[in-house]
Copies of this chain bind each other. A is one copy, B any other.
Amino acid sequence: MRGERGKRARSTILDVARLARVHPSTVSRILNDRPGLTLRPETRARVLAISKRLDYRPSALARSLRLQRTLTLGMLVPDIANAFLAGIIKGAEEACHERGYTLIVCNTADVPEREATYLRVLRERQVDGVLVASARLSDESIGSLLAERFPVALVNRGTHVDRGTRGNDDLWVHVDDRGGAVAAIDHLAALGHRRIAHVAGPQTTTTGRERLVGTRAALRRHGLTGTIVEAEAWSEVEGYRAARQLLRGDPPSAIFAANDLIAFGVLRAAREAGLDVPEDVALVGFNDIPEAALVDLSTVHVPQHEMGARAAELLIARAEGRPIAEPRILLETRLVARGSSAPAKERVTA
């Protein structure tokens, strides 16, 4: 209509005010439903009508600038394509969305430089908080955030931050890795397995360490020793590599892999070695990513969606200054027995 090129800019609160013959502040109050203000219903209706007619949408930018909060959370993840992390991201995103927050997911690829860059970007954008799922985000970056009292929540990430940083009220959501490992070993032991191996995750991560600790404890309790090999990364490829090493000699009758991806690698290695799963070797993974169900892999279930959601909720509460009853959430795991773990064959040791 106005301006031949259809270049009508988005309408602002001033446009609405002008047409409704009120002051912009009045429009703001009406639209935000400010309590404690008395408005004539007629005025309110008029403003509402005009604002609808103009399809007025307040600028989040201007509002954020004024309010000093952006209703935005940042999230640092090492790999968005990782199915386990994707579950967590979805949980976080959903929780954010429900509360009117927007989530900015940053893919750090586990390289410290990118982490630092992203952290800078997020702070320039004044996000209200940061969700950290990066397994080994450099402690200094995170420490400086914590030191500035910048809202941070750690998801599925180790505890090695809280040295000097009065760490008592940082936000954590993680899962009982140790308990999950114990459950896995118990499960295999209950099936009659005595020669159980563990393909551990990278010992640079707390998750990897915790699962190993649980495994060792459970094995000991069952009076077993067990072989342990370490995968250098949480990947199928590394699992495969580690498993080949494991299957060289006389193979164990059961293998507990530190996560599902590693388990997939084990599976591939076993098949290549001519071993049938579960006939010749039982296999249990960890995390219960969607693919696990597809290949019928027994695994320790981790509530990924819930982890993400709870972490986001925690962070939002903190960002909004609400008191937090339980800043550290430890979620329970649950063993999901599928086809990859069968009872041990009767024949005694080789």
A residues lining the B interface (CB < 8 Å): 6, 57-62, 64-65, 70, 80-81, 83, 86-87, 89-90, 93-94, 97, 102-107, 114, 117, 120-121, 123-126, 149, 236, 264, 268, 290-291, 294
Contacts and interface: CB of A to CB of B under 8 A. Distances in A.
29 contacts: A57-B123, A57-B124, A58-B124, A59-B65, A59-B124, A60-B125, A61-B61, A61-B65, A61-B70, A62-B65, A80-B86, A80-B89, A80-B90, A80-B93, A81-B86, A81-B87, A81-B90, A86-B86, A90-B107, A93-B107, A94-B107, A97-B117, A102-B104, A102-B121, A102-B125, A103-B104, A236-B294, A264-B294, A268-B294
Nearest to A62: B65
A281 to B, nearest CB: 19
Contact of A104 (B65, B83, B104, B149): B104
A197 to B, nearest CB: 21
A106 B92 CA distance: 12
A273 to B, nearest CB: 16
Contacts of A83: 81, 83
Q: Count copies of this chain in the complex.
A: 2
Contacts of A104: 102-104
Nearest to A100: B121
A268 B268 CA distance: 16
Contacts of A120: 57
A interface: dominant SS: helix
A164 to B, nearest CB: 15
Nearest to A304: B81
A103 B122 CA distance: 11
B58 A61 contact: no
A139 to B, nearest CB: 19
A120 B59 CA distance: 11
A131 B42 CA distance: 42
A90 B268 CA distance: 27
A61 B264 contact: no
Contacts of A149: 6
**Interchain residue pairs A-B with the least CB separation, the first 8:** A81-B86, A60-B124, A60-B125, A61-B65, A57-B124, A61-B64, A93-B107, A236-B294
A26 to B, nearest CB: 21
Contacts of A57: 120, 123-124
Given A62-B65, A65-B61, A102-B121, A291 B290 contact: no
A57 B81 CA distance: 31
